[in-house]
């Protein structure tokens, strides 16, 4: 976690949080076993993945277009891959172990060659 | 000027709530506390208070609505008894964990089963570890006074912890006694304006209440909460003094009745203390050095102060208005005995269960306790560490 772990006499009374939205600093991406891999060449921008993602981990630009995946928070549930229309195959799952130490390009190749 | 009135304990509680005029009362009726929300509804209908009364569908919802209203920034009160209190259980911990200074009147009653609607302390003793401040009244006057003080204690910035003011179901809640009702404006002046710390409705400073605390945060928050509860002890004393100045009736964490040179001491809470005082008076008339330590503040438990005032006794009997439920004795007994473990003088301490499910406790029963204490001092032997008062059949 990015935030400082406070002592018992430093925490805010009643476990109140004064900076709403600080769940962003809690990086749930570390829980992931498999990761979704995105292929922009096949993506039809239907935004089904964005609608269904339970962790708001589909990254979108100011024009509402998908630009990638927020791996700091994506828990690897695979819902986006389930929702991705089958013909386009713009999203697929890959074991984190197989992605380790590889570049984005290599990961994409590995994921979509299967 | 206040005035003398002849009303029940429930009416005393209802009048205290009317005078405090909280922003929200969310309550569900249950015997013997039903007349409290009933009277509040009447006062609101008659234009005597402008509280928002939320008539919920259960006590779980009552406490939930209280928590929501308190998180919103309101001054919030409620009332309940027994199984209603038990149904609130989960939410009691959330109220105290969120540090919301809700104040609740409890007409203390037995928990079923078997089904029983009468007075004992099963409810408030069961919830003693829910993180609430617990004040226990001997009579209607104290039921009224305690609720007014509880608001100020709970809302103290060093405390910010919910508080309950308990009084015995039926013995107090339904008995008409003469007590003094203070003027509405004096009571409102005493409790003052409530300034919530982090009100949800203050939208320019948004906050989150009720977020989750993972293993690396929960422990710190629980200990921070404990500090608030422990801070209540000194605040109870200070507010008790302020109350004395304002209304002429001063309160502390306990009442030491003829304790100065007492050899034989009963420790108790609630309406049984009235009976015990009468017995102490007649024993004193006969030259017996009897005393009563009436505890007013059960949570936070003032163990040091109690050890100091009790260590001069020759023998002590602790009266618990609950079953020990498998422990070595009742909760009051266990905590008093534990408090005395560090004292230089450790008098023998025995325990009685009494008054369960509304069972009458009369002077003859209290006299028998003092007789037993005398016997213990004379013989140096404790025959029974635990016994029952007014139970058919010898316990053991």
- Judged against a pLDDT cut of 70, whether residue A44 lies above it is answered with yes
| Burial environment of residue B279 by CB neighbours within 10 A (0 to 12, 13 to 18, 19 or more) | buried
Residue B260, domain member (yes or no): yes
B270 in the same domain as B242: no
pLDDT (tens digit per residue) in B341-358: 999 999 999 999 999 999
Q: Percent of chain A having pLDDT more than 70?
A: 96
Q: Give residue for tokens 């209304």.
A: B247
CATH number of domain containing B72 = 3.40.50.970
Q: Are residues B92 and B231 in the same domain?
A: yes
* pLDDT < 50 regions, chain B: none
Number of domains within chain B: 2
Which of B160, B213, B216 is facing A13, going by the closest CB pair?
B160
| Pair B173, B295 in one domain | no
Task: Pick the last residue of a domain from B223, B247, B271.
Answer: B247
Measured on CA atoms in the order B59, B64, B65, B71, is the torsion positive or negative?
positive
Same domain, B11 and B141: yes
Alpha-carbon span B338 to B332, nearest angstrom: 10
Q: Which of B247, B275, B310 is the last residue of a domain?
A: B247
Q: B247, B267, B301 — which closes off a domain?
A: B247
3-state secondary structure of B376: helix
- Considering CB atoms only, which of A10, A11, A20 is closest to B208? A20
State how far residue B98 is from chain A, nearest Cα, in angstroms: 4
Contact across the interface for A18 and B207, Cβ inside 8 Å? yes
Identify whether residues B259 and B228 lie together within a single domain: no
Is pLDDT of A34 > 80? yes
B11 belongs to a structural domain: yes
Query: How far is CA B102 from its chain centroid?
Result: 14
**What is the pLDDT at residue B1?**
76
Judge if B83 and B216 occupy the same domain.
Answer: yes
How do the domains of chain A map onto residue ranges?
28-112
DSSP per position, A6-49 = --TTTSPGGG-BSSTTGGGGS-GGGG-SEEEEE-TTT-----HH
Residues B201 and B338 in one domain: no
| CB < 8 Å to A25, chain B | none
Q: Beta strands of B242-312 (E only): which ranges?
A: 254-257, 264-268, 290-295, 297-299
pLDDT in tens, B102-137: 999 999 999 999 999 999 999 999 999 999 999 999
Could you list the beta-strand ranges (E) of B122-242: 133-136, 163-168, 176-181
Q: Which residues contact B274 (CB under 8 A, 6 or more apart)?
A: B138, B139
**Could you give the CA distance from residue B166 to residue B121 in angstroms, rounded to a whole number?**
9
| Residue B109 sits in the same domain as residue B234 | yes
- Of the candidates A5, A11, A23, which has its C-beta nearest B221's C-beta? A11
- Residue pair B154/B197 in contact (Cβ under 8 Å)? The answer is no
CATH number at residue B266: 3.40.50.920
CA–CA separation, B366 and B364 (whole Å): 6
Q: Which of residues 2-61 of A touch B (CB under 8 A)?
A: 5-11, 13-18, 20, 23
Asked whether residue B395 is domain-assigned, the answer is: no
What are A16's two structure tokens? Answer: 């109140």
- b/e B174-184 (16+ beta carbons within 10 angstroms → b): bbebebbbbee
Residue B309 lies in a domain: yes
Same domain for B162 and B184? yes
Residue B396 lies inside a defined structural domain of this protein: no
For B331, counting Cβ atoms within 10 Å of its Cβ (0-12 exposed, 13-18 middle, 19+ buried), the class is buried
Q: What angle do CA B130, B132, B135 make, to 5 degrees?
A: 130
- Indicate if the pLDDT at residue A2 is higher than 60: no
Residues of A in contact with B210 (CB under 8 A): 15
**In a shared domain, residues B283 and B190:** no
> B197 with B259, same domain?
no
Buried b (16+ CB within 10 A) or exposed e, B72-104: bbbbbbbbbbbbbbbbbeebbbbbbbbbbbbbb
Class of domain A28-112 (CATH, top level): alpha beta
Supply the range of the domain harboring residue B229: 3-247
**Residue A86 pLDDT > 90, yes or no?**
no
Which residues have C-beta within 8 Å of that of residue B78, sequence separation ≥ 6? B25, B26, B27, B62, B63, B66, B102, B104, B105
B175 in the same domain as B91: yes
The confidence score (pLDDT) of residue A3 equals 64
Question: Is A1 an interface residue toward B (CB < 8 Å)?
Answer: yes
């Amino acid at each position: 976690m990015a935030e400082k772990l406070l002592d018992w006499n430093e925490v805010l009374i009643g476990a109140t949080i004064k900076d709403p939205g600080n769940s962003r600093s809690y990086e749930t991406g570390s829980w992931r076993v498999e990761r979704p891999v995105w292929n922009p060449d096949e993506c039809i921008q239907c935004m089904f993945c964005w609608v269904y993602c339970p962790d708001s981990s589909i990254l979108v630009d100011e024009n509402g277009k998908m630009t990638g995946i927020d791996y700091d928070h994506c828990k690897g549930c695979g819902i986006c891959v389930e929702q991705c229309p089958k013909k386009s195959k713009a999203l697929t799952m890959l074991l984190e172990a197989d992605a380790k130490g590889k570049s984005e390009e290599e990961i994409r190749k590995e994921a979509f060659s299967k | 000027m206040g005035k003398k009135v002849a009303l029940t304990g429930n009416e005393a509680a209802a009048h205290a709530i009317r005078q405090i005029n909280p922003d929200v009362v969310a309550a569900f009726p249950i015997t013997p506390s039903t007349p409290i929300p009933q009277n509040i509804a009447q006062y609101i209908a008659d234009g005597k208070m402008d509280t928002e009364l939320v008539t919920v569908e259960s006590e779980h919802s009552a406490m939930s609505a209280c928590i929501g209203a308190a998180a919103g920034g309101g001054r919030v009160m409620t009332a309940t008894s027994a199984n209603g209190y038990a149904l609130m259980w989960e939410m009691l911990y959330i109220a105290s964990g969120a540090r919301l200074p809700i104040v609740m009147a409890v007409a203390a009653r037995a928990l079923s089963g078997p089904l029983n609607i009468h007075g004992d302390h099963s409810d408030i003793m069961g919830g003693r570890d829910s993180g609430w401040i617990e004040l226990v009244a001997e009579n209607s006057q104290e039921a009224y006074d305690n609720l007014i003080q509880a608001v100020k204690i709970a809302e103290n910035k060093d405390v910010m912890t919910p508080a309950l003011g308990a009084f015995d179901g039926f013995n107090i809640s339904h008995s008409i006694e003469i007590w003094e009702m203070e003027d509405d404006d004096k009571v409102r002046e005493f409790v003052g304006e409530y300034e919530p710390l982090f009100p949800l409705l203050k939208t320019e400073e948004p906050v989150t209440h009720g977020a989750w605390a993972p293993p690396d945060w929960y422990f710190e928050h629980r200990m921070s909460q404990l500090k608030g509860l422990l801070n209540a002890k000194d605040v109870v004393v200070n507010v008790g003094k302020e109350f004395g100045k304002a209304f002429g009736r001063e309160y502390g964490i306990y009442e030491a009745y003829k304790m100065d040179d007492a050899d034989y001491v009963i420790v108790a809470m609630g309406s049984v203390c009235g009976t015990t005082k009468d017995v102490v008076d007649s024993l004193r008339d006969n030259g017996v050095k009897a005393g009563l330590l009436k505890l007013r503040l059960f949570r936070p438990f003032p163990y040091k102060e109690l050890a100091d005032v009790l260590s001069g006794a020759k023998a002590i009997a602790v009266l618990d208005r609950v079953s020990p439920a498998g422990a070595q004795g009742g909760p009051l007994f266990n905590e008093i005995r534990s408090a005395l473990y560090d004292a230089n003088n450790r008098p023998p301490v025995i325990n009685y269960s009494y008054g369960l499910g509304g069972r009458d406790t009369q002077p003859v029963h209290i006299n028998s306790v003092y007789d037993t204490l005398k016997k213990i001092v004379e013989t140096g032997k404790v025959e029974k560490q635990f016994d029952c008062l007014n139970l058919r059949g010898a316990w053991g």
